Amino acid sequence: MESLYDRIGGQAAVFATASLLYDKMLADERVTRFFAHMDMDAQIRKQVAFLSWAFGSPDKYQFRALGEAHRELVRTHGLSNQHFDVVAEHLVASLQQLGVTPSLIDEVMVLVASTRGAVLAG
């Protein structure tokens, strides 16, 4: 069976998704503060690497674990379920904007939901 990564359009589609996602989050006052001091080009590269891996790309994910990567945001900046939901909302909107089918979006969101505990573990 073809991976979600391949079915969604591979590296180009994942990069387009991550770029749109961060455009939306940076424009959203509910979450923009979490990105105030980040190198956004580096952040997009990390997100592309993570999403590619999560979607079944043959590439290995070589960045920090999700809990470790978000720990400081949880502990000192109050990253919460509410913020996780905003990111998920923008991810759905980004995928829709790129013309991804509803069934693939549903598959993506099941994967995203499975990361909530790790992201918010703090």
Task: Give the tokens for residue 42.
Answer: 């580096």
What is the per-residue pLDDT across 3-38, written as a single tens digit (0 to 9) for each?
Answer: 999 999 999 999 999 999 999 999 999 999 999 889
Three-state DSSP at 66 gives helix
Secondary structure (DSSP) of 95-114: HHHTT--HHHHHHHHHHHHT
DSSP, collapsed to helix, strand or coil, labels residue 9 as coil
Sorting pLDDT into bands at 50, 70 and 90, what band is 59? confident
The domain ranges of the chain are 4-119
Neighbours of 85 (CB within 10 A): 12
CA–CA separation, 47 and 58 (whole Å): 16
Any idea what DSSP says for residue 34? G
What CATH topology corresponds to 4-119?
Globin-like (1.10.490)
| Confidence class for position 63, pLDDT limits 50, 70, 90 | confident
